[in-house]
Every structure is written in C-alpha cells, then in structure tokens.
C-alpha cells in the first residue's frame, strides 16, 4: 500500500507489494524490491537500489548525497541487499567517484536508531550497528560484526568478521576478526579478548577456537607485529579461521588494534 500523502517521483521503480508510509519521499532513481516497506517521513533518494524484504523505519534517510566536500553531484550509488532493518533517523549515503563509486550493504543487517553509514562504506551480512554507531567514509565491516552504541569508526578502517566493538569506543585502526575491542583510558580501541560467545553461537569448532586463542596470544604479546604473524604462520594449524585471521592482519593498511 502506498499512502496518498507519500511523494513518489516519476522514474522510481517499486515492486507491486512495496509499502510506503505517510509523507515518505521516494526519489526518481530509486529501486525497491518486493516485500519492503518505507515508514512515515522517511526519505529514499539518489541512485539507490534496495533488495527484498527490507524495512525502513520513520525518519530514516537513505541514499542522500555524501557528506564529502569533493562530491559534485556525480552518479554514484547505494546498493542494499535483502532483509535489512533500518531504524529511526539512520543515515546511509551514496558513494563518491574518489572512492569506490558506491556504498554497499549486504543482507540481514540491523541499523539501530541514528546509525550512520558514510560514503564508500561496505557492510557485509548479519552486522549489527547499535544506536548512534557511526562509520566514517571508506570503512569495511565484515560479516556478523557487532558495533556498540556511540562507537565511531575512523575512515578507511576495517572491522573484521565476528568481532565486537564495545559501546562508546573510538576505533582508529583495524579490528581483527573474532576479537572484542573496547575503549581505553586514552579513548582509543584496544583488544580485550576473543569473541568466544559469538564464535560458539556461530558454530566455530573447538579446534579452531583453540588455534585462534594461540593466534590472539601471539598478536597481543610483546612481539613485533611482523614476528607475531610469522610465528602464527609457522606454528598454527592452517584452519580457515586462522588463515583469515592472519590474512586480515597481513593486509592491514592503518595498523591493527592490539
């Protein structure tokens, strides 16, 4: 059902069963898949493609231009997958031509109230961003990461899969997969252990968890990072989770939270 007060611009492509609430605005380049809904006063604009069974709550802003002074109106995109929940006052922005040209969101994510996904970010699947969690531009959040309320992630940082960021944490470096990071007295993120509960809930084997514990001890030891990684490669079983952990650290450009 499309409420009679909603504004749907010519050119918008909506599946037959899409619901649009009162006073919502849908821009001319927007595509929305079946089973999705847009709440009252929400705005979906820009070159935005939204998949199936997404729920966008009231007052959300989806597909607005980037908060980047270099953006000059180029045709850049926001691509959203299926079954995402975008709560009140959340903001998800288009990409930029100086970045990847698109912001992407996978499937089954939850963006709580006031969450912000900036230009050229890439959010995987099953991610939770709690209230007021903020991604600066070009951030990559891998699958099943949880970002606590009032967190701020620095531009170009990466948040590894199955990691958890404690509420109020300022993240300036990459957070390795499977770990927990939280703020310190200096407000910078530091590792606080493995996300053991999350790993067990996701069915990660006891063998893999044991090897990840060894990897984590090496990472947080007094060893130089390069030496720690070399020992991981030589001493640990090449299980998929371990290979991913090492590969993430090896490819870091902004440094690693330790």
| Three-state DSSP string of the chain | CECCCCEECCCCEECCCCEECCCCEECCCCEECCCCEECCCCEECCEEEECCCCEECCCCEEEECCCCCCCCCCCCEEEECCCCEECCCCEEECCCCCCCCEEEECCCCEECCCCEECCCCEECCCCEECCCCEECCCCEECCCCEECCCCEECCCCEECCCCEECCCCEECCEECCCEEEEECCCCEEEEEEECHHHHHHCCCCHHHHHHHHHHHHHHCCCCCHHHHHHHHHHHCCCCHHHHHHHHHHHCCCCCECC
119 assigned to active site: yes
Q: CA geometry: angle at 88 spanning 172 and 51, to 5°?
A: 85
Q: Identify the active-site residue in 107, 120, 143, 174.
A: 120
Q: Identify the active-site residue in 119, 122, 162, 173.
A: 119
137 assigned to active site: yes
Q: Identify the active-site residue in 33, 106, 137, 149.
A: 137
Which conformational region is residue 193 in: left (phi greater than 0), alpha (psi within -120 to 50 degrees), or beta? left
156: which 2 tokens?
A: 């170009």
**Could you list the active site residues?**
119-120, 137
């Amino acid at each position: 059902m499309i409420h009679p007060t909603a504004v749907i611009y010519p050119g918008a492509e909506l599946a037959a069963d899409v619901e649009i609430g009162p006073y919502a605005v849908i821009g001319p380049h927007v595509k929305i898949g079946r089973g999705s809904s847009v709440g009252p006063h929400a705005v979906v604009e820009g070159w935005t493609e939204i998949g199936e069974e997404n729920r966008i709550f009231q007052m959300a802003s989806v597909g607005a231009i980037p908060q980047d002074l270099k953006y000059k109106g180029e045709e850049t995109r926001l691509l959203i997958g299926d079954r995402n929940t975008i709560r009140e006052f959340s903001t998800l922005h288009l990409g930029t031509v100086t970045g990847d040209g698109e912001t992407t969101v996978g499937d089954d994510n939850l963006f709580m109230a006031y969450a912000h996904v900036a230009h050229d970010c890439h959010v995987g699947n099953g991610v939770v961003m709690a209230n007021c969690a903020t991604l600066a531009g070009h951030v990559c959040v891998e699958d099943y990461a949880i970002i606590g309320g009032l967190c701020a992630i620095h531009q170009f940082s990466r948040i590894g899969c199955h990691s958890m960021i404690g509420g109020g944490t300022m993240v300036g470096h990459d957070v390795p997969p499977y770990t927990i990071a939280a703020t310190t007295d200096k407000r910078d993120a530091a590792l606080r252990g493995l996300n053991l509960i999350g790993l067990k809930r996701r069915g990660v084997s006891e063998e893999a968890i044991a090897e990840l514990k060894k990897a984590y001890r090496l990472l947080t030891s007094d060893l130089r990072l390069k030496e720690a990684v070399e020992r991981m490669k030589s001493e640990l079983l090449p299980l998929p989770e371990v290979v991913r952990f090492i590969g993430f650290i090896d490819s870091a450009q902004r440094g690693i939270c330790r």
